[in-house]
Amino acid sequence: MTRIFLFIACTFGMTAVILGAFGAHSLAEAISPEHLHSWQTGVQYQFYHTFAIFIAAILGRHLNKKKIRLAIWFFIAGVLLFSGSLYLLSTADLLGIPDFRSVIGPITPIGGVCFIAGWAFLFYASNGYVKRRWYRKEDADSDEK
């Protein structure tokens, strides 16, 4: 499963670079500054969560795998829903689907909730690890006395 998540992280990272460059060089003249800002926000969040997926996939070897997998799947859903909807909202006029905004608009916050859930599961997985490590150290310190 780690390989699949690393592959997804690399794919998201590559597409974030491509979409960022496309936004900076091609879209800057074609869409409004507000829509360009939304596009850039989508790219930023895709980058942030690409790194989160990558790191969580590696940490999955040391933490609760089930919780880590849930975190990663929520991050993936967040990228697709949050960033994907921002890309579509930003280019709706260009794509000839301006009326589609009312359909896409409500998807963005759902993606944001997925990001929050991903971070919550990552916290939950790491919290157990930190507690185990802390208690082990405390037990070791008390044994020395």
Residues 18-37 have pLDDT tens digits of 999 999 999 989 999 999 99
Residue 12: CB atoms within 10 Å: 22
What CA dihedral angle connects 85, 116, 53 and 82, to 10 degrees?
0
Q: 11-15, 42-46, 89-93 — which is least confidently predicted?
A: 89-93
pLDDT exceeds cutoff 90 at 140 = no
pLDDT grade for 72, boundaries at 50, 70 and 90: very high
Q: What is the pLDDT of residue 19?
A: 98
pLDDT exceeds cutoff 60 at 130 = no
Average pLDDT over every residue of 86-108: 92
Q: Measure Cα distances from 143 to 57, 129, 135, 136, 140 in Å.
A: 35, 21, 12, 11, 5
Query: In the chain, where are the structural domains located?
Result: 2-144
- CA proximity to 124, closest of 82, 73, 78, 65: 65
Q: Which residues contact 24 (CB under 8 A, 6 or more apart)?
A: none
Q: What is the pLDDT of residue 2?
A: 87
Q: What is the overall mean pLDDT for the chain?
A: 90
Q: What is the pLDDT of residue 141?
A: 56
Q: 59-63, 112-116, 120-124 — which is least confidently predicted?
A: 59-63
